[in-house]
Structure 1
Amino acid sequence: MASQTADDTLADFQAHMNLIFARAKALWKESASRMHPDLQPSGYKLLAYIARNGDTSAHRLADLFEMDKSVVSRQIRMLEEFGLLQSRPDERDGRLRVLTATPEASAVLAQLRAENAERMRSVLAELTPEEVQAASKVFRLLAEV
């Protein structure tokens, strides 16, 4: 009986994780359209990473997001066309391009992050700090799988 309860609990956990992933996809789509009406969620994720973590290269993004280099190149080209991303030659290796979010993109991303943080604070307000720490630990462990 205990095994069934544990299995039911795990199934419930997995179902909620699926809902979180679906909500995240919807949020990326919504955020992308607020950046530019033609921006795809994959381009938004790349741009958000660049803005948060600083200059990077297309090669690094492809590796990090496990995306095909042609997809990353296409998204970068679109981000540049939309005025959201700048690129310059790498000082150490002229064959590579260094990617940087534009100030305009960084400003919109900061606004979106603030709005998302407020939503998160509102949702998590009913939890104790210890419960939030426990949830954070679960997500960290899942991210390492």
Structure 2
Amino acid sequence: MTAATADPAVDEAIALVEEQLGVVFTRARQLWKQAAEQIHPDLQPAGYKVLSTIVRLEATNAHVLADLLDMDKSSVSRQVRVLEEAGFVESRPDERDGRLRVLAPTPVAVERIRAVRERHQARVRRVLEDRAPEELVAFAGMLRLIADAPDA
């Protein structure tokens, strides 16, 4: 059951936003699938998310990845193994805790992720470049509010 406001127009607008977020999430999943295929034909979308996060962080471990991506550790481990076998991730012992492995992207991974991100950013730029900077900042702020909102 959803809470209604005193203004039906606000309720309709919020329903429209929620509907469009669903469309955006579906499109994001499609883009992750395409991006994974651009990196390597056998890479799954989850592997792309893991690899792009490793590239963004420059070095990390499986526990951090599992937390950031809200994935179970066994799924992250499987994806990391695939990425290592494909030559996209290197693993070495953590200097502070030898029980942990530090995961770092290879130069090939950095280059491929960079190319995919540039294509994605160019798409977003084409769609939004005519908007006023204030409007884009407000939009980003609304997305942050939604992302940071606590569960019911």
**TM-score for the superposition, normalised by structure 1:** 0.95
Instruction: Output one character per residue of 1:52-72: Cα deviation in whole Å (capped at 9) or x when no partner.
Output: 111000011111212111111
Identify which of 4, 8, 13 aligns with 2:8.
4
**CA distance in 2: counterparts of 1:116 and 1:93, whole angstroms:** 37
Instruction: Output one character per residue of 1:44-98: Cα deviation in whole Å (capped at 9) or x when no partner.
Output: 1111011011100001111121211111100000111111111011111111100
Identify which of 103, 112, 124 aligns with 1:99.
103
Could you tell me which amino acid in structure 2 is paired with residue 85 of structure 1?
V
| Deviation of the 1:3 alpha carbon | 2.2
| Deviation of the 1:23 alpha carbon | 0.7
| 1:57 counterpart = 2:61 | yes
Gaps of 5+ in 2: 1-5
| 1:117 counterpart = 2:121 | yes
The 4+ residue runs of structure 1 with deviation greater than 6 A are none
How many corresponding residue pairs? 145
Identify which of 14, 18, 28 aligns with 1:24.
28
Aligned partner of 1:144 in structure 2 is 148
| 1:74 counterpart = 2:78 | yes
Aligned partner of 2:52 in structure 1 is 48
| Deviation of the 1:105 alpha carbon | 0.7
Could you tell me which amino acid in structure 1 is paired with residue 69 of structure 2?
F
Identify which of 34, 37, 62 aligns with 2:38.
34
Q: Percent identity?
A: 49
Q: What secondary structure does 2:71 align onto? A: coil
**CA distance in 2: counterparts of 1:78 and 1:114, whole angstroms:** 24
**TM-score for the superposition, normalised by structure 2:** 0.91
Could you tell me which amino acid in structure 1 is paired with residue 130 of structure 2?
E
Q: What secondary structure does 2:49 align onto? A: helix
